[in-house]
Amino acid sequence: MSLEILGISVLWIFLYGYLIIASIDFGAGFFAFYGKISKRDHLINNLISRYLSPVWEVTNVFFVFFFVGLVGFFPDAAYYYGTALLLPGSVSLVLLVIRGSFYAFGNYGSKENSFYLFLYGATGLLIPAALSTALTISEGGFLKEKGSGVEFLAKELFTSPYSWSVVLLAIVSVLFISAAFLTYYADRAGDMPARDVLRKFTLFWSPPTILASFLVFASLHAHNPGHFSKAIQLWWMFGLSLLFFLIASYLILKKKNFGTAFIAVMLQFFFAFFGYGASHLPYILQPFVTVHESITNPTMGTALVVVFIAGLLLLIPSLLLLMKLFLFDADYVKGKK
Amino acid sequence: MELDNVMLSRMLTSMTLAFHIIFATIGVGIPVMISIAEFVGIKKNNNHFLLLARRWARGFTITVAVGVVTGTCIGLQLSMLWPSFMKVAGQVISLPLFMETFAFFFEAIFLGIYLYTWDRFKNKWLHWLLTIPVMIGSSASALFITTVNAFMNTPQGFELKNGKAVNIDPIAAMLNPSTPSKVFHVLTSSYMTSAVLLAAITSFAILRGKRSIYYRSALRLTMICSLVFSLGTALAGDVSAKFLAEVQPEKLAAAEWHFETESNADLILFGTIDENNQIHHAIRLPGMLSFLAGSSFDKKVIGLDDFPKDETPPLWIHYMFDLMVAIGSFVIVLSLVYLIAWRAKKFSEWFKPILWGIAAAGPLSVLAIEFGWIYAEVGRQPWILRGYMKVADAATTGQGVGLTFIIFAILYFILAILTCVVLVRMFKNKPAEAELEKRFNH
Ligand code: HDD
Ligand code: HEM
Ligand code: HEM
């Protein structure tokens, strides 16, 4: 495998990791807030907080990892994105800052503050919307090269149907992934009232997820026919994604195997996300940056890969320990520890 | 002064870093203090120290959160504000940035475990063991990011051909000449600041009338640590000054208002300078600059006149340097006086002026960190990559830097206030005595 494909695969895997665990986190924020205003917080909010408290910082690191890795493996991509995305990037940053700090303030500082909870819930939906525009921009048509730099065409972005369909997909996916995971977590905790509320959330968000996916496909066809036809060549990946979606929804509907159901959700997004990524290649940012031209020098690339492998050897056992203590320890999940 | 993109980018970078560095410093030092307190508590089977570790850890969750989010800001802003710099330097120096992320990751995982497993292990030492990966993770992230900063001061490990970096050696770039002294000084000063800050909080509580054994134990422990770490900081600062004299003489010369290369050079403390570079009202220590730079009065110290005018840093960094050193010396003397007062039993260790001194030393140490970084960063001017690229050529050409600056200024302002409010409330609502009673005596 060439260095650039290896590099982009590493980054894509991390982005996928972020997609899953950040979705759980973002959606949980929304459900916690929704639970409060619909007076069901006594049912679900404890459960959500038991899961989130020990892991929120880990979530953020996934994101940091992605953009540091992007600068490392593909410095040119950082140049284009950096120049163009100052304002939209800063908006995402401000939202991330509000979310992270207010989570800590609310959770460790003053309990039961509805305003903190509101910010936490609202940013949970706004951040995926804001971050997903980076993927939209990568499709091309929203940046213009001029003189000494690149210019961001904000108006085009805000009026593009493709851009809005991606935002929609991001939001409903977050809610679906999160609800599916929390249903499983509640089931493990033996917390039936919470499980039933969350299961209903999952079922509620399941059809919109698949509708939004089709919408994205349709608008991609209009916006970037080249990418669309490459995606069609990888039809089997999207087919597998659909299949796992059906399995997950079926299991949750039938109230069984919530663990398997969540794995199916993960696979659903895995195939869709990698199908999307693979058909996007060789471009990182159309038409300015391809993986082949922007890849860093081979010495640095090799060094990064070596560090990456060494890092994984260190992290995987640690992550397993974290999961063993907080996710798979029945007593902790049930609130007895 | 024109508010162009370069100026605005500098202002925004400075603001984010100046804010992040407070929480970063605390993030590196507090885990060490927590570890020490828990160790002493288990070893001596003393609940006061265990509670100390526990309460510090609880406050730490807030400062870590702010450290993480502001760090994410500076990480993204580097690419957004200095894209040309990152495009070139990214080829050479992304390795430590990448490694830093792993260090964070490692720390984040074990910090999560540490905070939520206080009563979960039968063997208390198992819980203490968790502080080790946390300390390794946070100190390692400081180490890696400091190699990046060191690289900007003394770049090596590449050649620049037609604006592109070639012949790259990432390891040599990390192990550049500036790395050892900088890492040493950054680490010791972080430990020192955290110890002094905790001592200051304790001292302030005592001044407000809290006199239980809990506070006395806390003050003794933190003051011993303050002495050790401030001595280490001064030693490391001395190493840094000797390093500068050898490798980056214009920075030291600007800080010392030293214009002509000479041996037996005088050390100038404070004072003012006029437009003809005449120095007034300063304290002059004959020969001391040579001594500081090379441990000998005959050491020749290179002066600013050896450099082109447009490649020397601004002269006001003199005050930054002097204030940093003054604060460092103040903390050393203060902790010595306190420990003597305690040991000799002649004076009461509750002696008010000493307590007020300690309470002031906390904020002062944070200021010393800020002064130190401003000195180190502005002292590198006009270069962003010393000898290769100037700050003026590296800034973004994008629109909206000014607006972004305003947004972040408001954001940090709110964060700063809320952090203080939340921390104060957290400890007010749960006084130590009540918690001690509840946790250990039922
Ligand atoms: C508590 C904070 C603190 C204290 C008391 C001191 N320093 Fe410091 N100093 C720092 C915190 C710091 C710092 C924030 O860590 C810096 C900024 C950049 C760096 O590498 O370390 C720094 C930089 C710095 C540099 C520039 C290094 C470089 O750019 O490569 C020198 C020469 C010194 N210091 C020397 C001293 C001396 C002789 C001190 C005598 C006691 C001293 N510092 C106390
Ligand atoms: C790749 C990394 C870095 C880049 C691109 C960078 C760039 C800059 C630039 C351009 C400035 C403005 C200088 C000026 O005011 O004229 C600045 C200031 C500053 N930097 Fe760095 N720097 C980096 C690393 C660091 C690190 C690791 C630290 C430590 C926390 C740091 C601390 C500071 C501080 C405190 C200032 C404020 C100085 C002032 O007030 O002017 N920098 N940085
Ligand atoms: C250019 C300068 C810097 C950059 C780009 C940077 C980047 C970051 C990032 C991305 C984070 C968030 C990591 C996470 O998500 O957990 C962070 C947090 C942190 N940084 Fe910085 N940093 C800089 C300067 C420094 C310096 C000089 C130090 C130490 C002296 C430092 C120590 C820390 C610490 C301790 C945290 C808190 C993380 C934790 O406790 O888990 N940083 N920084």
The DSSP-derived string for A38-76 is: TT-HHHHHHHHHHHHTTTHHHHHHHHHHHHHHHHHH-HH
Q: Is B182 in the pocket of ligand 1 (CB under 6 A)?
A: yes
Residue B29: partners with Cβ closer than 8 Å, 6 or more residues away: B190, B191, B192, B193, B194, B195
> Phi, psi at residue A318, to the nearest 5°?
-65, -45
Would B36 be classed as within a structural domain? Answer: yes
Higher pLDDT, B163 or A90: A90
Residues 6+ apart with CB under 8 A from B436: B47, B48, B51, B214
Q: What are the φ and ψ backbone dihedral angles of B273, each rounded to 5 degrees?
A: -130, 140
- For residue A201, the Cα-to-chain-centroid distance in whole angstroms is 19
In a shared domain, residues B402 and B334? no
Closest ligand to the CA of B182:
1
Question: Which residues on adjacent β-strands are paired with residue B273?
Answer: B279
CA-nearest residue to A104 within chain B is B62
Q: How many residues does chain A have?
A: 337
Residues B242 and B98 in one domain: no
Domain parsing of chain A, residue ranges = 3-333
- Chain B positions touching A322 (Cβ under 8 A) are 109, 112-113
| CA–CA separation, A99 and A126 (whole Å) | 10
Q: Is position B391 within any domain?
A: yes
Which of ligand 3's atoms lies nearest the C-alpha of A60? 15
Dihedral angle at the C-alpha atoms of A200, A203, A208, A209, nearest 10 degrees?
120
Hey, which bits of A57-188 come out as E strands?
143-146, 149-152
B89 lines ligand 3 (CB under 6 A): no
User: Could you tell me if B60 and B135 lie in one domain?
Assistant: yes
Ligand closest to CA B88: 2
Question: For residue A154, what is the nearest residue in chain B, using CA coordinates?
Answer: B399
User: A3, A50, A64: best mutation site toward chain B, by most B Cβ within 10 Å?
Assistant: A64
Q: What is the pLDDT of residue B228?
A: 92
The verdict on residue B437 lying in a domain is no
Contact, B33 vs B225, CB < 8 A? yes
Is B104 close to ligand 3, i.e. is its CB under 6 Å away?
yes
Out of B79, B84, B102, the one facing A311 most closely (by C-beta) is B102
Three-state DSSP at B279 gives strand
Residues 80-99 of B with CB under 8 A from A: 80-84, 86-88, 90-92, 94-95, 97-99
Per CB-CB distance under 8 Å, the chain B contacts of A75 are 86-88, 90-91, 94
* C-alpha span between A291 and A281 (Å, rounded): 8
Per-residue pLDDT, A286: 73
Contacts of B165 in chain A (CB under 8 A): 297
Are residues A315 and B425, on separate chains, in Cβ contact within 8 Å?
A: no
* Residues in contact with A323: Cβ distance below 8 Å, sequence separation at least 6, in sequence order: none
> Is residue A64 in contact with ligand 3, taking CB distance under 6 Å?
yes
Report residue B174: phi and psi, to 5°. Answer: -70, -45
Give dist(CA A177, CA A165) in Å, integer: 18
Element (H, E) at A256: none
Do B125 and B43 belong to one domain? yes
Nearest to B72 among A64, A83, A104 (CB): A64
> Which atom of ligand 3 approaches the CA of B26 most closely?
35
pLDDT confidence of residue B325: 87
Integer Cα distance of B396 and A273 in angstroms: 32
Q: Given an 8 Å threshold on Cβ–Cβ distance, is B115 in contact with A100?
A: no
Same domain for B236 and B166, yes or no, is no
Q: Is B196 domain-assigned?
A: no
Check whether residue B254 and residue B122 sit in a common domain: no
Question: Which ligand lies nearest the alpha carbon of B328?
Answer: 1
Clarify whether residues B227 and B316 are in a common domain: yes
| Counts of helices then strands in chain A (DSSP H, E) | 15, 4
State in Å: Cα B68 to ligand 3 middle.
7
Question: Does residue A51 surpass a pLDDT of 90?
Answer: no
Q: So what's the pLDDT on residue B364?
A: 92
Asked whether the beta carbons of residue B99 and residue A311 sit closer than 8 angstroms, the reply is yes
d(CA B159, CA B168): 7
- Exposed/middle/buried for residue B47 (C-beta within 10 Å: 0-12, 13-18, 19+): middle
Q: Which of A292, A294, A283 is nearest to A141 (CA)?
A: A283
Ligand 3 centre distance from Cα of residue A284 (Å) = 27
Instruction: Give residue B380 CA to ligand 1 midpoint distance, Å.
Output: 14
A269-325: per-residue pLDDT in tens? 888 888 888 777 777 777 777 777 777 777 777 888 888 888 888 888 887 887 777
Q: What is the per-residue burial (b if ≥16 Cβ within 10 Å, else e) of B224-233?
A: bbbbebbbbb
What average pLDDT does this structure show over A245-255?
A: 81
Query: pLDDT in tens for each of the 442 residues of chain B?
Result: 567 777 888 888 899 999 999 999 999 999 999 999 888 888 888 788 888 888 888 888 888 888 888 988 888 888 888 877 887 777 788 888 888 888 888 888 888 888 877 777 777 788 888 889 899 999 999 999 999 888 888 888 777 777 677 777 878 878 888 888 899 999 999 999 999 999 998 888 888 877 777 788 888 889 889 999 999 998 998 888 888 877 777 777 777 776 667 766 667 777 677 776 676 776 776 666 777 777 776 766 667 667 777 777 777 788 888 889 889 889 999 998 888 877 776 666 677 788 888 888 889 999 999 999 998 888 887 778 777 777 777 777 667 778 888 888 999 998 898 888 888 887 777 776 667 667 666 5
Count of residues for chain B? 442
Residues of A in contact with B76 (CB under 8 A): 67, 89, 93
Are B403 and A61 an interchain contact pair (Cβ–Cβ within 8 Å)? Answer: no
Closest CA to B52 of B213, B200, B222, B218: B218
Which residue, among A155, A96, A143, has the nearest Cα to B398 in the 3D structure?
A143
- Cα–Cα distance for residue pair B20/B97, rounded to 1 Å: 16
Task: Using a CB–CB cutoff of 8 Å, tell me whether A234 touches chain B.
Answer: no
Q: Please state the domain count of chain B.
A: 2
B153 and B217 part of one domain: no
Q: Identify whether A54 is preceded by a cis peptide bond (ω within 30 of 0).
A: no
Q: Which of A73, A223, A16, A233 is nearest to A138 (CA)?
A: A223
Does residue B395's CB lie within 6 angstroms of at least one atom of ligand 1?
no
B176 lines ligand 3 (CB under 6 A): no
Task: Please judge whether B80 and A86 are an interchain contact, meaning their C-beta atoms are less than 8 angstroms apart.
Answer: yes
Residue B427, class by beta-carbon neighbours within 10 Å (0-12 exposed, 13-18 middle, 19+ buried)? middle
Inside any domain, residue B189: no
Residue B337 CB-density burial (10 A; 0-12 exposed, 13-18 middle, 19+ buried) = middle
B253 and B277 Cβ atoms separated by less than 8 Å = no
**Taking the C-alpha atoms of B359, B362, B365 and B371 in order, what is their torsion angle to the nearest 10 degrees?**
-90
Q: Tens digit of pLDDT for each residue in A199-223? A: 888 888 888 888 888 887 777 777 7
Q: Which residue of A has its CA nearest to B170?
A: A300
A280 Cβ contact partners less than 8 Å away, ≥ 6 residues apart: A138, A227, A230
Residues B323, B325: Cα–Cα separation, whole Å: 5
Q: Which of B11, B14, B25, B380 to mutate to test the pocket of ligand 2 (most atoms within 8 A of CB)?
A: B14
Residue of B nearest to A325 (CA): B113
Q: How high does pLDDT run on average in chain A? A: 78
Q: Is B209 left (phi over 0), alpha (psi -120 to 50) or beta?
A: left
Residue of A nearest to B408 (CA): A94
Which residue in this structure is represented by tokens 């995987």? A316
Domain that holds residue B304: 210-247+249-379
Cβ–Cβ below 8 Å for A315 and B109: yes
- B396 and B289 assigned to the same domain: no
Q: B163 or A181: which carries more pLDDT confidence?
A: A181
- Residue B396 lies inside a defined structural domain of this protein: yes
Up-side HSE of residue B43: CA atoms within 13 Å toward CB? 6
pLDDT of residue B351: 76
* B398 shares a domain with B304: no
In terms of Cα–Cα distance, which of A228, A230, A206 is closest to A218? A228
* Nearest atom within ligand 3 for CA of residue B137: 41
From B336, B356, B379, the end of a domain falls on B379
pLDDT of residue A333: 60
Q: CB-based contact (8 Å) between B129 and chain A? A: no
Looking at the fold, whether B286 and B307 belong to one and the same domain comes out as yes
Residues of B in contact with A100 (CB under 8 A): 65, 68-69, 72
Closest-CA residue of chain A to B83 = A79
A199 φ/ψ angles, rounded to the nearest 5 degrees: -65, -40
* Residue B105 and residue B54 share a domain: yes
Q: What is the pLDDT of residues A99-127, one digit of tens each?
A: 888 777 766 655 566 777 787 788 888 88
CA of B374 to the centre of ligand 2 (A): 8
Of A68, A96, A297, the CB nearest to B101: A68
Q: Does A86 touch chain B (CB under 8 A)?
A: yes
The answer to whether residue B436 is domain-embedded is no
**What is the DSSP secondary structure assignment for residue B175, as one 8-state letter?**
T
A97-100's contacts with Cβ under 8 Å and 24+ in sequence apart are A97/B69, A97/B70, A97/B72, A97/B73, A97/B411, A97/B415, A98/A123, A98/B411, A99/A29, A99/A123, A99/A124, A99/A127, A100/A56, A100/A60, A100/B65, A100/B68, A100/B69, A100/B72
